[in-house]
Amino acid sequence: MKPVILRMLIALLIVPAILAGHAYALEDSEVNLETGSEWITAGGSPATITAVVSNASVTVSGVDFSCTEPLVYGDTGTATDSSVPYTTTFASTKSGTATIEATVRYNEDGVDKTLTKTVTQKIDHAAPDILKSVSYKYEVTIDQVTPVIIRLEDRYGNLIDSKKEDALGGIPESVYLYSSPEDSGFWDGTGYNLNDVQVFVNNDGDAELNFKVSATAGNNVLTIVPPNDIEIEYRTVIGLANAVPERIVVGVNPHAGDPPFIPADGETKFYITYILEDTYGNPAGNRTIHISSSDPTDLPFERTSNSAGQVMITYGPRSQKGLVTLTAYSVDTPSLTVSTDLVFDSTEPVDMLLTANPEMMPASDVAPLFKSKIRAKVIDEKGNPVKNEMVNFSIIHGTYPASQVIPPSLETDFAVTDEDGQAIVNFIPGAFITDWNDPNYEKLASASCSVRAEWSTSTRTIELGWKNYPYITVETSVSPETVELGGDVDVTVRLIGDGWALQPDPIDVILSADRSGSMLKDNPDRMVSLIDALKIFNSEMAEGRDQVGITSFGVRGVADIYAYGYKYWSGYDSTSWDDSSYISSHYIGNGKWYANYATLDLPLTTDHSMVENEVDRIVPMSGTPMRGGLYLSIKEIAENARSDAVRAVVLLSDGDYNWYGDPLARGSGYTWYHPDDYSTLTKAYYKFTDLPYDQQDMSEYANSNNVKIYSIAFGDSISSGGRYVLEQLAERTGGTYYYAPTGDDLAGIYSDIAGDLKTEAGVDTIMDLQFDNVELNNVSIPNNPLDPVLEYVYLDNVSTTIESWDKTGIVIPRNTVDDTSDWTDDLSLNFDVGTIKLNQVWETNFRLKALKPGNINIFGPGSTISFNNGTDVLTLPKTYVTAVPDLNMTGIEFTGLEVSGLHATNTGEIVDTLNLEWSLKYSGEYPVTQNLYYMKIGDNVWIPFKSMPSLTGPLDKTETAGLSISGLPPGSYYIRVHASAPDTPDSIVETEEQLLIGEHSASYIKIE
């Protein structure tokens, strides 16, 4: 080998050996720490963290990975990696920015060394999971703005913010908000004109916006709709009526006259109410006015309005006549002023009004307890009632017929006026002869007289009448009788068909009884049940007025049940051992002779004892000659009934007709066949020779004589064909068909029929109430719609209501009619009452607003009630209401209200009952309301949870309230008491210290 080549080989071997014997240092720039994802999501996929060593000459023994804040974000997935690529993973449930640290371990010249690098890992929140909080002011002055801040959190408690979206240019999460009422809203760039808005979260995690409450005091509702189907929530912002006043309205009580006046009697006061309103018409609460008087002896003063915007004071009394002017101005806006003139005057009683209710009434013989109230009302020159005035009463100018046996009378001949200025005595009408046989008896008796009332120099008379014949009772009333000007008065008109008022027409009725053999069936026998029912019917007829007759149909000849093949039906149907005793006990007429298959057992009579006697003597046996029984029944009525009587046949059968054939005469008629030749349900019929062809049908025969047929199918033996005939007889004649399965049903059916036969008390009754002209203080004036005395008020279930009832129950259920259009059309209220039956009461209630001061006669001469097709007309009795100003607006000057010292008497954590105590002081005379609220720390919302019973002042007492714990989450709370009275500013007190409510086991405040 050549020397040159050898030297070269040696050099090549020596250089690596020299190099291998020396290690280079690792520079910071030769190590990079990288994340595979700039952003990861809390609870989502991890990021891959990679350490890259670019110096290949360095011997790396491994890389250690860690998070610098493991307690906050957690640690890396792998702590050490000894092979290339050096990696680990990192995931977290906490949003924010985590610092990941990688330490590279290597050897330099035999010495172990490290180099540390870091990388930041950004962690975004997960999807929104809950609505964490809503911050806002719970109470805001109307038409003002409150900021609203909403925060959302994910399932791990991370705040939902826009950090990632801000960094990468995405769209952050948002919530939708909706507001009501309509004039509340959110900012749209030019004004608060939006009722719905989308709000995005910001970098701090706040969805923030401004909300303007309504210009009307009350609740403003925010509807918050979070994303991801998180439950919708609602928040209430209370708009407080405490804005600066824009107007002052004054109410004076009493305010009759212009200017208002009261007597200068040293006792009477003016009650003045100042109502402060803002620019939107809301009450301006907690605002001060300055009040002064034109009388230099009166010192000026200031008062603060309550939550209703009211300041209430009194002025007076005075003993001297004169005029005083009160001037009030707003301390907020001194240019806002109002002046009120008050007159103290001498007022004495000057006149008297006289009314009676009713004016037409029943005589004492037909309504022994009936009385009419005579009212004399003493008034001053302004129409106000005057109390403690004596009025004398007397009866004069009587017109009495010979039939009157007891004259009218007054329970007392004097009375003293009450608070409503009314002196009231009872008038007792006269009584007529009731003995029909007395030669002076009058069926249509009437009498009248005048009642005179005398007070001071005033004398009034009123005509009264009483009758013993048909007339409807009319009763009227108003409530209250004294009403504040502009207030509501409820008017009642009651029409009564109460027996004396309208007696029913007389009744002529034939009871037609099936006495066929099958009436012995059942126990008690069907005939026994029928006998009892017939007696009940008879008892409901009027003795001496209503006529009752009896027909029956069955066997011809001797009716001897002992000799009857089916006598075992008597009593227990399947045995004979009880027949003899049963027959002797129940059929006292056994063995009776019946001259024909159908018989007139008792002609029409008003002697009801004869009816009972004949009913007891009916004996059942043999077939069912129904047609013959109907013929005799209708014939008796046609020949002997009265022209003015209600005519009816009450027919009962327990089986299908046979003898005499078809009552409806649907087949051929014969005269030569014997009555008992006709078979069951045949359409052939026995022809009655005294009837024309078109009246062989018993329903036509009945109709031609104005006879109604009431039919009863008794028991289960009658077929569908038999029932059809009974139904047609009733329907074609205007009667009613009944089915009585058992004897127990008969009594009720016969009672129903008896009631149906009693005719109506009045027909076609119409009531027209005219209000186009109204009597005010004894002078008739137009009720001008532009300046009315009275106005109609519609209110559901109050005005106008109509209802009717009788002794058996409700006839017309209470219902409401809106008569606004009727009133607007011609200032009248019109009622088509219809038919009023005996003992029926028809009543209407309606509401009027009294708009002129003085005594108002509700019913003028144009208001009438007509009935009996307009042949009878009644006027309504004079009914007065006195309208005086603002009866309910009263106040006491310089009254005060204070609640203080609110605290819990419990100590420590409250787990069962929260016991509260506070002081209440009030120097006025009105009811005080106290409402309790709670607020959980952090919620910033006062929630009402209890109202204390109302208390009437003056008051100086300790109040307590015990509250069961079972309604709210545990936590720290404040409690508030808000007290108010009509004549003082409101007073509010809150607990000074937080109250710890509930245990960790979740006890709650119970909302009561």
pLDDT of residue 894: 54
Q: Note the pLDDT tens digit of each residue in 565-600.
A: 777 788 777 777 777 888 888 888 888 999 999 999
Q: Note the pLDDT tens digit of each residue in 228-251.
A: 999 998 888 988 888 889 999 898
Q: Whole-angstrom Cα distance, residue 822 to residue 873?
A: 22
Half-sphere exposure of 442 (CA within 13 A, CB side): 16
Q: Note the pLDDT tens digit of each residue in 184-235.
A: 999 988 999 999 999 999 999 999 999 999 988 888 999 999 999 999 988 8
| C-alpha distance from residue 7 to each of 10, 27, 122, 622 (Å) | 5, 36, 61, 163
DSSP state of 744: G
pLDDT of residue 448: 94
pLDDT of residue 19: 41
Report residue 598: phi and psi, to 5°. -125, 135
Q: Note the pLDDT tens digit of each residue in 852-900.
A: 988 889 887 788 888 766 667 777 888 888 887 544 333 234 567 899 9
Class of domain 247-345: mainly beta
Please calculate the CA angle 798-802-808 and round it to the nearest 5 degrees.
Answer: 125
Domain borders along the chain are 28-124, 128-240, 247-345, 349-469, 507-758, 761-885, 897-997
Q: How many helices (H) and strands (E) does the chain have?
A: 11, 70
In this predicted structure, which of 430-434, 824-828, 833-837 has the lowest mean pLDDT? 833-837
Residue 410: strand pairing partners = 427
Q: Whole-angstrom Cα distance, residue 819 to residue 903?
A: 55
3-state secondary structure of 619: coil
pLDDT of residue 267: 82
Q: For residues 497 and 819, which has the higher predicted lDDT (pLDDT)?
A: 819
Q: For residues 147 and 944, which has the higher predicted lDDT (pLDDT)?
A: 147
Q: Note the pLDDT tens digit of each residue in 734-770.
A: 898 988 877 677 777 777 777 777 655 455 688 899 9
Q: Note the pLDDT tens digit of each residue in 146-170.
A: 999 999 999 999 999 999 999 999 9
Q: Note the pLDDT tens digit of each residue in 411-454.
A: 999 999 987 889 999 999 999 998 867 888 887 788 999 999 99
Res 809 pLDDT > 60 = yes
| C-alpha distance from residue 261 to each of 273, 312, 338, 567, 668 (Å) | 16, 18, 18, 95, 94
Class of domain 128-240: mainly beta
Tokens of 226: 């979070």
Q: What is the overall mean pLDDT for the chain?
A: 86
Class of domain 507-758: alpha beta
Dihedral through CA 859, CA 860, CA 865, CA 869, nearest 10? Answer: -160
* CATH, domain range 28-124: 2.60.40.10
Closest by CA to 719, choosing from 636, 657, 635, 674, is: 657
Res 8 pLDDT > 50 = no
Element (H, E) at 844: strand 840-850
DSSP class per residue in 815-831 = EE---HHHHHHHSEEEE
Q: Note the pLDDT tens digit of each residue in 595-639.
A: 999 999 999 998 889 999 999 999 998 888 999 999 999 999 999
Neighbours of 343 (CB within 10 A): 16
User: Do 507-758 and 128-240 fall under one CATH topology?
Assistant: no
pLDDT of residue 762: 53
DSSP class per residue in 446-473 = EEEEEEEEEETTEEEEEEEEEESSS--E
pLDDT of residue 229: 92
DSSP state of 954: S
- Phi-psi map region of 722: left, alpha, beta (phi>0 left; psi -120 to 50 alpha): alpha
Q: For residues 89 and 481, which has the higher predicted lDDT (pLDDT)?
A: 89
pLDDT of residue 967: 67
Element (H, E) at 340: strand 337-345
Using pLDDT thresholds of 50, 70 and 90, give the confidence band for residue 15: very low
Res 979 pLDDT > 60 = yes
Closest by CA to 697, choosing from 741, 661, 748, 743, is: 661
- Which percentage of the chain shows pLDDT scores above 70? 91
Report residue 696: phi and psi, to 5°. -65, -30
pLDDT of residue 321: 64
Element (H, E) at 507: strand 507-514
Question: In the predicted model, what is the mean pLDDT of residues 477-484?
Answer: 85
Please give the sequence-ordered ranges of beta strands (E in DSSP) within 241-331, or none if there are none: 247-253, 261-263, 270-277, 288-293, 301-304, 310-315, 322-330
pLDDT of residue 818: 96
Q: Note the pLDDT tens digit of each residue in 82-138.
A: 999 999 999 999 999 999 999 999 988 889 999 999 999 999 999 999 999 999 888
- Amino acid identity of residue 404, one-letter, is Q
Res 351 pLDDT > 90 = no
Candidates 3.40.50.460, 1.10.760.10, 3.90.1560.10, 2.60.40.10; correct CATH number of 349-469? 2.60.40.10
Neighbours of 399 (CB within 10 A): 12
Under CATH, domain 897-997 is a member of which superfamily?
Immunoglobulins (2.60.40.10)
pLDDT of residue 518: 84
Cβ within 8 Å of residue 430, ≥6 positions away: 363, 364, 400, 404, 406, 407, 408, 447, 466
Name the pTM for this structure.
Answer: 0.42
